[in-house]
Chains A and B, each alone.
Chain A
Amino acid sequence: MFGNRTTVLHSYWTTLRANRPHRSLFLKYFVTLFVVGVAPLMVGAISEAGFGYQDRRRQIDEVLDVEARSAANRIQTFIDGIRGQLGWTVQLAWTEADDERRRVDALRLLRQVPAISSIALVDHTGHERVFVSRLGLNRIGRGPDLSAAPAVLGARARKAWYGPLRYERDSEPYMTIAVSGNRAATGVAIAEINLKLIWDVIAAIKIGDTGLAFVFDDDGRLIAHPDISLVLRGAVGSSDFDQVKSAVAAAPGAAVMTKDAAGKDVVAASARIASLNWTVIAQQPVSEALASIRAALWRSSVLIAVMASFAIALAYWLAYRMSKPIRQLEDGVQKLGAGQFGHRITISSGDELEQLADRVNEMAKELAISKDKSERINLLKRFLAPQVAELVERSGRERLLSGQRRDVVAIFGDLRGFTAFASRSEPHVIMPVVKEYYRALGAVITRHEATLASFTGDGVMVLVNAPVARADPALHGIRLAIDMQAALQPLVARWSAKGYTIGFGVGIAMGPAIVGTVGYEGRMDYTAIGSVVNLASRLCDLAKDTQVLTDPVIAREVKDAVPLVPLGEHPIKGYDRPSQVFMVAPCSERSPEITFRAQKLTEKAEWREHKATGLEPIAPLAAPCRAAPADVSA
Chain B
Amino acid sequence: MRRRAFISLVGGAIAWPLVARADKSFGRRRVLWISTDSQPDPFLDGFREGLHSRGYVEGRNVVLDVHYSQGNPGALRRMIPELGSGSIDLVVSSGPATRAIKDVTSVPVLFALSGDPIELGLVNSLAQPGGNFTGSTFLSLDLAGKRVELLKEILPTLRKLIVLSNTDHPGEQSEWCATRRVAHALRIEPIYVPFKGVHELHNALAAAGNARAEAMLVFPDAVTMVHRARLAEFAVTHQLPSMFGWSEYCDAGGLVSYGANQRTTYFGLAEYADRILRGERPANLPVQQPAEFELTVNLKTAEALGIDLVASSFLFRANKVIE
Seen from chain A, the residues whose Cβ lies within 8 Å of a Cβ on chain B are 46, 49-50, 53, 57, 104, 107-108, 110-111, 114, 134-138, 167, 169-172, 194, 196-197, 228-229, 232-234, 236-237, 257, 286-287, 290, 293-294, 297-298, 301
B residues less than 8 Å from A297 (CB atoms): 9-10, 13
CB distance from B48 to the nearest CB of A (A): 22
* Cα A286 to Cα B2 with chains together (Å): 12
CB distance from A171 to the nearest CB of B (A): 4
- Of B12, B145, B293, which is in contact with the most chain A CB atoms at under 10 Å from its CB? B12
Tell me whether B5 and A301 are in contact (CB under 8 A).
no
Partner of A137, one of B13, B146, B286, B288: B146
Tell me whether B6 and A50 are in contact (CB under 8 A).
yes
Tell me whether B12 and A294 are in contact (CB under 8 A).
yes
B residues less than 8 Å from A236 (CB atoms): 127-128
User: Which B residues between 1 and 34 are near A, CB-CB below 8 angstroms?
Assistant: 1-2, 5-6, 9-10, 12-14, 16-17
Interface of A, secondary structure class, is helix
Other than A135-B142, A234-B127, A286-B5, give 9 A-B pairs with Cβ distance below 8 A: A107-B317, A136-B146, A169-B125, A170-B126, A171-B289, A232-B287, A234-B286, A298-B13, A301-B14
B146 nearest CB neighbor, chain A only: A135
9 A–B contacts from the bound complex (CB under 8 Å): A107-B317, A114-B291, A137-B149, A194-B291, A196-B291, A197-B292, A232-B127, A294-B12, A297-B9
Tell me whether A301 and B139 are in contact (CB under 8 A).
no
Tell me whether A57 and B2 are in contact (CB under 8 A).
yes
A residues less than 8 Å from B151 (CB atoms): none
Tell me whether B9 and A293 are in contact (CB under 8 A).
yes
Tell me whether A229 and B128 are in contact (CB under 8 A).
no
- Of B9, B17, B319, which is in contact with the most chain A CB atoms at under 10 Å from its CB? B9
Tell me whether B1 and A171 are in contact (CB under 8 A).
no
Is B57 in the interface zone, CB < 8 Å from A?
Answer: no
B residues less than 8 Å from A135 (CB atoms): 139, 142-143, 146, 293
B residues less than 8 Å from A287 (CB atoms): 12, 16
B residues less than 8 Å from A298 (CB atoms): 13-14, 16-17
Interface size in chain B (residues, C-beta < 8 A): 38
B residues less than 8 Å from A138 (CB atoms): 149
Task: Known A50-B6, A104-B313, A233-B284; judge A172-B149 contact (CB<8 A).
Answer: no
Tell me whether B126 and A136 are in contact (CB under 8 A).
no
Partner of B316, one of A111, A171, A234: A111
Tell me whether B1 and A232 are in contact (CB under 8 A).
no
Which 8 A-B residue pairings sit nearest by Cβ, starting from the closest? A232-B286, A297-B13, A234-B127, A135-B142, A171-B126, A171-B127, A170-B127, A196-B291
Is B285 in the interface zone, CB < 8 Å from A?
Answer: yes
Seen from chain B, the residues whose Cβ lies within 8 Å of a Cβ on chain A are 1-2, 5-6, 9-10, 12-14, 16-17, 125-128, 139, 142-143, 145-146, 149, 182, 185, 272, 275, 284-289, 291-293, 313, 316-317, 319
Task: Known A169-B126, A171-B126, A294-B12; judge A229-B285 contact (CB<8 A).
Answer: yes
Tell me whether A294 and B289 are in contact (CB under 8 A).
no
A residues less than 8 Å from B284 (CB atoms): 229, 233
* Cα A22 to Cα B284 with chains together (Å): 66
Task: Known A170-B125, A232-B288, A294-B16; judge A137-B316 contact (CB<8 A).
Answer: no
* Cα A46 to Cα B145 with chains together (Å): 70
CB distance from A578 to the nearest CB of B (A): 116
A residues less than 8 Å from B126 (CB atoms): 169-172, 232
A169 nearest CB neighbor, chain B only: B126
B residues less than 8 Å from A104 (CB atoms): 313
A residues less than 8 Å from B127 (CB atoms): 167, 169-171, 232-234, 236-237
A residues less than 8 Å from B285 (CB atoms): 229
Tell me whether B291 and A137 are in contact (CB under 8 A).
no
Tell me whether A197 and B291 are in contact (CB under 8 A).
yes
Partner of A257, one of B5, B14, B185, B286: B5
CB distance from B130 to the nearest CB of A (A): 11
Tell me whether B317 and A49 are in contact (CB under 8 A).
no
- Of A49, A104, A137, which is in contact with the most chain B CB atoms at under 10 Å from its CB? A137
B residues less than 8 Å from A50 (CB atoms): 6
* Cα A186 to Cα B149 with chains together (Å): 28
A101 nearest CB neighbor, chain B only: B313
A132 nearest CB neighbor, chain B only: B317
Tell me whether A294 and B13 are in contact (CB under 8 A).
yes
* Cα A153 to Cα B244 with chains together (Å): 41
A residues less than 8 Å from B319 (CB atoms): 111
Tell me whether B145 and A137 are in contact (CB under 8 A).
yes
Tell me whether B287 and A171 are in contact (CB under 8 A).
yes
* Cα A286 to Cα B285 with chains together (Å): 26
Tell me whether B291 and A257 are in contact (CB under 8 A).
no
* Cα A2 to Cα B142 with chains together (Å): 123
Tell me whether A110 and B317 are in contact (CB under 8 A).
yes
* Cα A379 to Cα B99 with chains together (Å): 125
Tell me whether A108 and B9 are in contact (CB under 8 A).
no
A residues less than 8 Å from B6 (CB atoms): 50, 53
A residues less than 8 Å from B288 (CB atoms): 228-229, 232
* Cα A339 to Cα B126 with chains together (Å): 101
CB distance from A575 to the nearest CB of B (A): 111
Tell me whether B316 and A108 are in contact (CB under 8 A).
yes
Tell me whether B14 and A107 are in contact (CB under 8 A).
no
Tell me whether A171 and B14 are in contact (CB under 8 A).
no
* Cα A135 to Cα B125 with chains together (Å): 21
B residues less than 8 Å from A170 (CB atoms): 125-127
Tell me whether A171 and B125 are in contact (CB under 8 A).
yes
